[in-house]
Structure 1
Amino acid sequence: MRLFRSLAPAVGIAVALVLCLPYEALPHARVEPAGPAARPEPFGAECRTTVRGSQVVAYCHNAYAETDRVRLHIECDRWWDLDSDGAPADAGPAVTVRLTGRCWKEVRSAWVSHQRG
């Protein structure tokens, strides 16, 4: 019992010092990436969409080696105006494609979807 009483302050100080250490200094289990397959290849064309009145134009440039199938989607503002999904276009490596669409009146939103080709 005496030994425990004499060690109690030392144990308390040791615990306090460990709790004050920064997170990086504490031991952790490190997980390394499995290899080149763990990192996905870059993919996806960069698209710039412009809305002028009821017309929508999107230019998509693919800077990567894999073909990107892009598609323009338009949501119209009026309830009676039909929303549209454009035909898909293949943007090959180093290729820029132009996508167009329109509403009868105002455009609420327009976006481009991407799919591996």
Structure 2
Amino acid sequence: MNTQKILFWASTGLLSLMMLSSAFNYFTSPQMEAAFQHLGFPSYFRIELGVAKILGVIALLVPITPYLLKIFAYSGFFITFVSAIIAHIASGDPLQAMLMPVIALILLIVSIFYYEKLKP
């Protein structure tokens, strides 16, 4: 396996683990529910976002997913991470609260960069 494939799968795998973990927390964690309320989001939004993250991970990991659907998933994740950073800034949260969305955004950029390079 060449370096580009390794970087693609490493970034996509880590991103996917982060998204599945956060989706699980959206469904089960009272702290996550409180965090969404703190940011001014309604409770149902975290459920919708959790479902969307699971569907996005499936789209990224399944090799036969059509190109346009993968790009749709990448775009959705991009909007989610940028929105999370903006929401934390607008709520006056400390910089450490933005760490996970920033890390996820970096992994996303690496993943899509190598996805495009490896695309047939």
TM value normalised by structure 2: 0.20
Q: Which has the larger radius of gyration?
A: 1
Higher relative contact order (CA 8 A, sep 6+): 2
Q: More helix per residue: 1 or 2?
A: 2
Q: More strand per residue: 1 or 2?
A: 1
TM value normalised by structure 1: 0.20
